[in-house]
């Protein structure tokens, strides 16, 4: 009988709200799939992580990026534009997970090739459900090339 290696999902959460970071950490801690959740608390740190610079030289490219739009320093739209215009990074699915319901933000995010746009619920239990839904989608449906690392 062949054994199959269990793949660990590498997730980059780009979020500056400590409460949302903790809720996301808790939700993915209970995930049905194995994962490593990496945190970038602003857009500059996210780009350093993705480009493996400024202390992140050993970072592993994420399988998925959860991106808030309202970030200090480089904002989420700028991060999204940079990621999706880079041939080495653009295949990484980016889920915008933000508090903005503005049509302008939704349209701009999709114009910048966001894969999903999700408005963060203000209720903690609903927020946890959204993260669990992302997890379910990831574990049940998504198929990514293993060569993007």
- Per residue in 47-83, pLDDT tens? 999 999 999 999 999 989 999 999 999 999 999 999 9
Q: Mean of the pLDDT values across residues 95-120?
A: 94
pLDDT greater at residue 124 or residue 86 = 86
CATH code assigned to 9-139: 3.40.50.2300
Q: Mean of the pLDDT values across residues 14-42?
A: 86
For residue 128 the two structure tokens come to 């946890």
N-term to C-term CA, the chain: 28
CB burial of residue 99 (10 Å; 0-12, 13-18, 19+): middle
Residues forming a β-bridge with 117: 96
pLDDT greater at residue 136 or residue 40 = 40
Judged against a pLDDT cut of 80, whether residue 89 lies above it is answered with: yes
Q: Is 12 helix (H, G, I), strand (E, B) or coil?
A: strand
Q: Do residues 21 and 13 touch, judged by C-beta distance below 8 A? A: yes
Give the DSSP H or E segment for 137: helix 124-140
Give the DSSP H or E segment for 46: helix 43-50
């Amino acid at each position: 009988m062949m054994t199959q290696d269990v793949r660990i999902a590498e997730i980059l959460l780009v979020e500056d709200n400590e409460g949302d970071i903790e809720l996301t950490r808790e939700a993915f801690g209970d995930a049905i799939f194995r994962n490593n959740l990496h945190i970038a608390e602003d857009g500059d740190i996210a780009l350093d992580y993705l480009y493996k610079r400024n202390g992140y030289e050993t970072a592993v490219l994420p399988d998925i990026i959860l991106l808030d739009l309202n970030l200090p320093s480089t904002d989420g739209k700028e991060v999204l534009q940079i990621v999706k215009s880079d041939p080495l990074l653009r295949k990484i699915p980016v889920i915008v997970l933000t508090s903005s319901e503005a049509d302008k933000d939704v349209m701009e995010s999709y114009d910048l090739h966001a894969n999903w746009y999700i408005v963060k619920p203000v209720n903690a239990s609903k927020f946890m459900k959204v993260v669990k839904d992302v997890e379910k989608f990831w574990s049940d449906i998504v198929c990514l090339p293993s060569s993007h690392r």
